[in-house]
Amino acid sequence: MSKSIKELLRVHKLNKTPCRADMLGVLIETDRALSEQEIKEQLAYDYDRVTVFRTLRTFIDAGLVHHVTVNMHEVKYALSKRDSRQNGDNAHAHFHCETCGQVVCLGSFSPDEAVIPEHFSVKDYELIINGLCAKCNA
């Protein structure tokens, strides 16, 4: 189903490195946005923090990964479905469960044009819906 790691790296013109391939593997496997620590815990190899952080930056710069901040400071990363620089994939809402902390990407969501002042233009936006996930609601 999901695009192969090799294909994703090729489309975004990135060379394959062990850490990039490993991290993409983790991000492809989940439908959640993960923190740096959550990603690190699932990697096959224990890369140092700088390598993990640099790889995340590279993915973000390439439009392969986007991030969302919850609880003021907690940054979560998720695979972008398309090249976010071209298709505005970053413009979607996220659901944040206040109990277990999981963050999931929701489908695209358009802000109501009417609330944008005249002659202003929207480039990007962040919408986080806080609540309880199905598991925590049960």
- Provide, rounded to whole angstroms, the least separation between the CB of residue 51 and Zn ion: 24
Which of 17, 132 has the CB closer to Zn ion?
132
Structure token digits, residue 84: 């976010």
- Provide, rounded to whole angstroms, the least separation between the CB of residue 110 and Zn ion: 15
- Provide, rounded to whole angstroms, the least separation between the CB of residue 68 and Zn ion: 6
Collapse the DSSP code of 6 into the 3-class scheme (helix H, G, I; strand E, B; otherwise coil) and give the result: helix
Asked if residue 100 binds Zn ion (CB under 5 A), the reply is yes
Which of 116, 136 has the CB closer to Zn ion?
136
- Provide, rounded to whole angstroms, the least separation between the CB of residue 109 and Zn ion: 11
127-131 and 65-70 beta bridge pairing? unpaired
Contact 94, 127 (CB under 8 A): yes
Write out the binding residues for Zn ion, residues 119-138 only, by CB under 5 A: 133, 136
Beta-carbon contacts of residue 18 (< 8 Å; ≥ 6 apart): 45
Collapse the DSSP code of 84 into the 3-class scheme (helix H, G, I; strand E, B; otherwise coil) and give the result: helix
Write out the binding residues for Zn ion, residues 53-92 only, by CB under 5 A: 78
Which of 9, 105 has the CB closer to Zn ion?
105
Contact 63, 83 (CB under 8 A): yes
Structure token digits, residue 135: 């598991």
Asked if residue 97 binds Zn ion (CB under 5 A), the reply is yes
Interacting residues with Zn ion (CB under 5 A): 78, 97, 99-100, 105, 133, 136
